[in-house]
Chains A and B, each alone.
Chain A
Amino acid sequence: MLKKEVSGEAIAKSMFEMAKLEVPIICIVIGEGSSGGALAIGVGNKVFMLENAIYSILSPEGYSSILWKDPSRIKEAAEKMKLTAKDLYDLKVIDKIIKEPDDEDAFNKICKNLRKEIVSSISEMKEMSKDEIVEHRYQKFRNMGEFIKI
């Protein structure tokens, strides 16, 4: 019961604690990530996404029903929302797209790609001080989203 009431607070607290951690954080979206639940564990110094994963403000079903009051426009919502790895890379929300080769040995190859990126990110952040790690993460999210000065 209590969980349902305060899920909003739980998300806020989780992001708050993540933002303060003094160790490097790497987050990887491996399937469908959406809304506050995904972001609650998504405040990382580095955010990766598998090539075919999606990451969005809400599921396309929820999106079309909220924005257009028409749950049947799912396909249109999915296209407009910019939820693919490529979209999010272009929007500077994620740092890297992990390739997913389409062959028999795909799983091993994906793991190998992931391992390579994780190791190289860790070695990149290894030399940073605790304060630098926290500040690095802060600046990443501080600069999320572009706006125009009128």
Chain B
Amino acid sequence: MIVDKIKKRAPSAKNKPSNIDIPVGKWIKCDECGEIIYIETLNKNLNICPNCGHYFRMHINRRLEQIIDKGTFESFDLKLETSNPLNMEEYTKKLKALREKTGLEEAVECGTGKINGENVVICIMDSGFLMGSMGVVVGEKITYAIEQAIEKKFPLIIFSVSGGARMQEGIISLMQMAKTTSALTKLDKAGILYISVLTDPTYGGVTASFASLGDIILAEPKAMIGFAGQRVIEQTIGESLPEGFQTAEFLLEHGFIDKIVERKDLKNTLYKLIQYHK
């Protein structure tokens, strides 16, 4: 009897509108602890899980809000598009779809802004755009930003997050490593401060070029940083690697980075460093 009743009630219960209104896309699950978090709450908490402290990756606009004084950011607004050197058809389609989905022009945004009133040239990468990979547009935008830092005599700050050089543009992507690095030699000669901030994950050709060349290198806690991925290295050398290999903490211990800075302290740390080097 009871079973029959449940059976009868079940379909109508399904159709009945729920009292709790959960809009689609307003909630997100923490990869670390599984907690379901309201996106607004997450945004207000600097994209850090309120339950376990896990750092979510940040959209360029969130990062700008966090680091740059309100209303002071001015994009260089270069409006560039790759020439698609390998003529990959699916690549052009993918870029178009990503631009619409993310509202971003490419995997990096560059411009000038103020940090507690101090002028800076700032570049911020975004993992949501082809894993923050560097092709000709990213290389050109970073290089242009470096040249602007020299011209304006503003300190340069680059927030890196990247899978490395962009495979879809082949050797041209590789060459962007030399391009950005060469530009940094000019910044160095001009005596302009460059602070590189490594966030999770920073890999490949980005680690092997501008990200590793900061006068000061900061990293967010637990960020994964490396050149080749752990699995690839283990397969290549046939040895297993120590635990925590490629974490910011491990690299700090081995002298590769200068300081691990919590997200909430990043803006003030950058401000202080700019002050010291004035």
Chain A interface residues toward B at CB < 8 A: 2, 4-9, 11-13, 15-16, 19-20, 35-36, 39-40, 42-43, 55-58, 62-63, 66-67, 80-83, 88, 91, 93, 137-138, 141-142, 144-150
The answer on a CB contact under 8 Å between B176 and A5 is no
The answer on a CB contact under 8 Å between A142 and B183 is yes
B259 interface hit (Cβ, 8 Å): no
Among candidates B80, B175, B205, B254, residue contacting A150 with C-beta atoms closer than 8 Å: B80
Bound: A5/B246 CA distance, A: 7
Chain B 134-160 interface residues, beta-carbon cutoff 8 Å to A: 135-137, 139-140, 143
Given known pairs A91-B172, A144-B172, A147-B137, the reply for A5 and B178 (CB within 8 Å) is no
B interface: dominant SS = helix
The answer on a CB contact under 8 Å between A7 and B227 is yes
A interface: dominant SS = helix
On chain B, the residues within 8 Å of A43 by CB distance are 178, 181-182
Bound: A149/B250 CA distance, A: 42
Given contacts A16-B213, A19-B178, 4 further A-B contacts (CB under 8 A): A6-B256, A15-B182, A55-B171, A145-B172
The answer on a CB contact under 8 Å between B81 and A148 is yes
Least Cβ–Cβ distance between B106 and chain A, in angstroms: 10
Among candidates A12, A13, A66, A80, residue contacting B86 with C-beta atoms closer than 8 Å: A80
Chain B 179-224 interface residues, beta-carbon cutoff 8 Å to A: 179, 181-186, 204-205, 207-213
The answer on a CB contact under 8 Å between A19 and B254 is no
Given known pairs A9-B256, A56-B170, the reply for A142 and B245 (CB within 8 Å) is no
Q: Can you report 24 residue pairs joining A to B where beta carbons are below 8 Å apart?
A: A5-B246, A5-B250, A5-B256, A6-B251, A8-B208, A8-B211, A9-B208, A9-B212, A15-B182, A16-B213, A36-B208, A57-B170, A66-B167, A80-B86, A91-B171, A91-B172, A141-B182, A144-B136, A144-B139, A145-B140, A145-B176, A146-B85, A149-B80, A150-B81
Least Cβ–Cβ distance between B219 and chain A, in angstroms: 13
Number of interface residues of B (CB under 8 A): 57
Top 9 A-B residue pairs of the complex, sorted by shortest distance between their CB atoms: A8-B227, A145-B136, A8-B207, A144-B175, A11-B208, A12-B212, A8-B208, A146-B83, A9-B212
The answer on a CB contact under 8 Å between B254 and A2 is yes
B127 interface hit (Cβ, 8 Å): no
The answer on a CB contact under 8 Å between B212 and A93 is no
